[in-house]
A and B are shown apart, each in its own frame.
Chain A
Amino acid sequence: MTRRIITLVVGAVAPILVAAGPALALDDGEVPGKSLGTGLVIAIYVLIPLGAFLVIAFFSALPSALRRPRYRPGRAWKHDPLWFCGPDDPVSALSSARPGATGKGGASAEW
C-alpha cells in the first residue's frame, strides 16, 4: 500500500519537475553584462541621435538655402533696378531723357 502511494506521488510530481527544469534555469537576459561606461553611454544615447538629427536637418534645409527668395506679390521689392537690353550708360542716358519725348503708345496693367 505504501509503495503504491509513493509510486503514485513520484509518478505525478516527476513529470512536472522535469518539465519545469528549463524554467528554473537562468535566462541570458538575467545575467548582468559588462558596464558600458559613461563615455560609451553618452556616445550612443546622446551623440549619435544628435548627429542623426543634425544630418537630417541639414539636408532638409539645403534646397531652400540654395534657392533665391521667391517673388511674392504684395511684398516690398528691395533690389537694385535691372535693365535688360538698355543703354550702355543708363545714368547719362536718363539724365537727358524726359517723359513724352519718344513714347507714342503702349499699355499699362496692374496685378
Chain B
Amino acid sequence: MPSGKGNGEPFTDGQVREISRACTTASSESGLHYSVYVGPVEGEIRDHAERLHAALGPLASRGVLLLVAPGDRQLEVVTGKESSRRLSDRACALAALSMTTSFSGGDLVGGIVTGLRMLSEASGRELASGRSSR
C-alpha cells in the first residue's frame, strides 16, 4: 500500500502495481510478510530500517522489511524473530547483491521484484529443508 503523494511520483501506476503484486505474491507463497519501503534514510540506515520493521506491529515477527534508499544508494534488509529462522543472513545478502546489481543499472522496479522473488524462494527452500530434516 503506497503512502505519500506529490513531488512527482517516482513510479508509474503499472510499476506500483508490479511491486505491490510482487510483495503480496512473495508474502502468500512463503508465509512471511514482505514489506518494501522506498525513500530517503533518516539517520543510520540500520536504525531506520529496524524502526520501519518494528512499525509492522504484530506482523513484525514474521516480517521482512526491505529499505531501498535510491538517493543514498543504500539497501537494508531486516528480518524478524520468526522470519530470521526461515531466511538466513546469507540468503538476504545474496538477494541484496542481486538487487543492487539491478539498481546500479538504473532498474529500481526490476531489482525490487527480483529481490522479493529471491527472498521468497529462499525462505520456502529453508522451510522445506527444515521440514525434511525433522
Contact = CB atoms under 8 A, between A and B. Distances in A.
Interface of A: 68-74, 76-88, 90, 93-94, 96-111
Query: Majority SS of interface residues in chain B?
Result: mixed
A79 B10 contact: yes
A82 B50 contact: no
A102 B55 CA distance: 9
Contact of B89 (A97, A102, A107, A110): A107
A8 B99 CA distance: 102
Nearest to B23: A85
Given A80-B7, A83-B37, A105-B78, 5 more contacts: A86-B1, A97-B54, A106-B78, A108-B77, A111-B75
Interface residues of B, number: 75
B84 A105 contact: yes
B56 interface: yes
Given A73-B104, A84-B2, A94-B51, A105 B79 contact: yes
